[in-house]
Amino acid sequence: MTDSHGRTIRDLRISVTDRCNFRCVYCMEPDVRFAPRESLLSTSEIIRVARIAESLGVRKIRLTGGEPTLHSELAAIIAGIRAATGVEIAMITNASLLTRDALREWKAAGLARVTISIDSLRPDRFARLTRSTSSPADVLAGVERTIAEGLTPLKLNAVLIRGFNDDEAADLAELARLYSIEMRFIEYMPLDSGHTWDSSKWVSAAETRAAIEDRFPLIARDDDDPSSTARTFAFADGAPGRIGFIAPVSSPFCGACSRLRLTADGKVRPCLFSTTEWDLRAALRAGATDDHLADFLIDATWTKQPGHGIASHDFRQPARPMSAIGG
């Protein structure tokens, strides 16, 4: 699949559920109502779309949410995609439900690697940010279990918000050294359900890097995939692990974007910030053939916008929050 700007789609992010057991302040207000279950794609529908997407050149599928580990048929989804395709299957999670038994089951089903979100190492801040009963210790236990089960290379994601947790950049960066993994910092984006995003709370990747380098000098790596969302750095002292910066606000990477998104209720979104969606669920449930669905995905991809335009004066925040789009 190629869009009208010459970009080839190789990565598909599938949201398997809009439900989440966290209510992170940059994503979901406490009173958010979830979509009716019957409106969400079934396990067989997800697997069918994955198979068709692979036939069109998709090579990586990331399962997202909401919180994907809440899906009662997650293992069946992973196993079905693995049986129907040869793609790499990854998952992003808040790690609150990562038991050893669950990780082993998902790995046996075909899951290759995991990305985990952690925005603070301070229990009080973590509770205020996630509005949950989980703790940083719970997340780090999930990190250790994931590494032990070999679902690697493991990546951790953090969103820094000015005046809230931006003073933890170096502390979070130290996790990369401790676990020999990649710690990534994602710029705060306008994707909250309350539409209260405030640019004054945005922390640039450059500022975060400077804060980290006050403790841990970094060296830029030169082996990043051009379509990667992150630009990565090694520790100058040779310590294990690396640091990644995902900077959609200050340094958009739209020109090499290779991603397409499918929401839990079956809408195709060519861009994270798309304001137009394509209703694939309707076609699925109307008896469309595989060829028709393939043409549908090709046509939707062709409409992929050149960039998200967050910094432009006429930028419009998507109606959906991140939890309803899929990370």
- 2 part of a folded domain: no
Confidence of residue 57 (pLDDT cuts 50, 70, 90): very high
The confidence score (pLDDT) of residue 182 equals 97
Q: What CATH code is carried by the domain that includes residue 219?
A: 3.20.20.70
- 189 part of a folded domain: yes
Determine contact, residues 197/248, Cβ cutoff 8 Å: no
- 95 part of a folded domain: yes
Residue 318 predicted with pLDDT over 70: no
Separation of alpha carbons 292 and 295, rounded Å: 5
The confidence score (pLDDT) of residue 304 equals 85
The tokens 């991809």 sit on which residue? 301
- 3 part of a folded domain: no
> What is the tens place of the pLDDT at every residue in 108-167?
999 999 999 999 999 999 999 999 999 999 999 999 999 999 999 999 999 999 999 999
> What is the tens place of the pLDDT at every residue in 237-284?
999 999 999 987 777 667 678 899 999 999 999 887 777 899 999 999
Confidence of residue 225 (pLDDT cuts 50, 70, 90): confident
The confidence score (pLDDT) of residue 309 equals 58
Top-confidence range, 85-99, 191-205, 303-317: 85-99
The confidence score (pLDDT) of residue 175 equals 98
- 5 part of a folded domain: no
What's 205-269 look like in SS3? HHHHHHHHHCCCCEEECCCCCCCCCCEEEEECCCCCCEEEEECCCCCCCHHHCCEEEECCCCEEE
Alpha helices in 110-223 (DSSP H): 123-130, 136-148, 169-179, 205-213
Separation of alpha carbons 324 and 117, rounded Å: 17
The confidence score (pLDDT) of residue 319 equals 67
% of the chain residues with pLDDT over 70: 90
Separation of alpha carbons 53 and 56, rounded Å: 5
- 60 part of a folded domain: yes
Task: Tell me which residue range forms the domain holding 60.
Answer: 11-325
> Average pLDDT of the chain?
91
Q: Three-state DSSP class for 316? A: coil
Count structural domains, the chain: 1
Separation of alpha carbons 158 and 143, rounded Å: 14
- 1 part of a folded domain: no
Mean pLDDT of 319-324: 68
Angle at 315 between CA 295 and CA 251, to 5 degrees: 85
- 57 part of a folded domain: yes
176: Cβ contacts below 8 Å, ≥ 6 apart: 156, 182, 183, 235, 240, 241, 242, 243
Separation of alpha carbons 95 and 312, rounded Å: 35
**What's this model's pTM, rounded to 2 decimal places?**
0.92
